[in-house]
Amino acid sequence: MLTPTAEIVDAAARAGRGVGAFNVIQLEHAEALVAGAEAAGAPVVLQISENAVRYHGSLAPLGSAALAVARASATAVAVHLDHATDVSLVHEAVRLGFGSVMYDASTMSYADNVASTSDVVAHCHAHGVYVEAELGAVGGKDGVHAPGARTDPDEARGYVEATGVDALAVAVGTSHAMLTRDAAIDLELIARLHAAVPVPLVLHGSSGVPDADLTRAVAAGMTKINIATQLNKTFTAAVRAYLASNPEVVDTRKYLGAGRAAVAAEVARLLGVLGAR
């Protein structure tokens, strides 16, 4: 069932559970994420990034499909706009019925970040939409942020108070688009941020984090765990294996179906790792 992001993330934060937030690029991804969540008996967040919107040319077709898949689900499913830098895109997501947006003003100065994010929060809250923001550059995004970036707990607390955001993505050692799972996350910093910041914490770039450290990150205070590249690897490997074994197949449903099934299984497994049930 389509569920407000606030209900899923805030309940998990209170219970000390993780929430899996996975990226949707094609319809098969949305279907796989929901199938995996249903198998795990856990809620899930479907995320559409600004990059995915750019790939498709607009938000409405994929966003509407994700919302439809969420409504038909047997488990709680939220739909979220991820890493939006374009305020007009945020407004479109609100109009479509997304439960949350991640507004990324991290490339701005601190003062401009606060001012711009506060405006987004005011608009979104007026429409009942949850807002995630970012402080302390998360590594690897478009080659801009250094993987060694770290979020200062005191600055993070002040930022949340100044902007009114509902969740905060913080830099603790991860990097976006990692193909290996060997990121060294700072668990002590996560605990300090959790103690200082009054809203749920979000871990971006989680594909590079080993399973055991994902579990430890949740225990230390992370709530929303964003994973994209790991599922893209899973999807692509399954498609390649299917085509290698069935070179005569031209029906796209055959190999995309193999990718969808593999992602569903990996989502169910990862939700277990995060203690999302």
Catalytic residues: 82
Q: How far is CA 249 from CA 27, 32, 195, 242, 257, in A?
A: 21, 22, 54, 9, 12
Q: Is the dihedral of CA 52, 22, 68, 35 positive or negative?
A: positive
Question: Is the distance from CB of 208 to CB of 178 less than 8 angstroms?
Answer: yes
- C-alpha to C-alpha distance for 48 and 264, rounded to whole angstroms: 17
Beta carbons within 10 angstroms of residue 144's beta carbon: 11
The closest alpha carbon to 204, from 140, 160, 146, belongs to 140
Q: What are phi and psi of 3, to 5 degrees?
A: -130, 140
Q: What are phi and psi of 265, to 5 degrees?
A: -65, -40
The closest alpha carbon to 93, from 63, 131, 52, belongs to 63
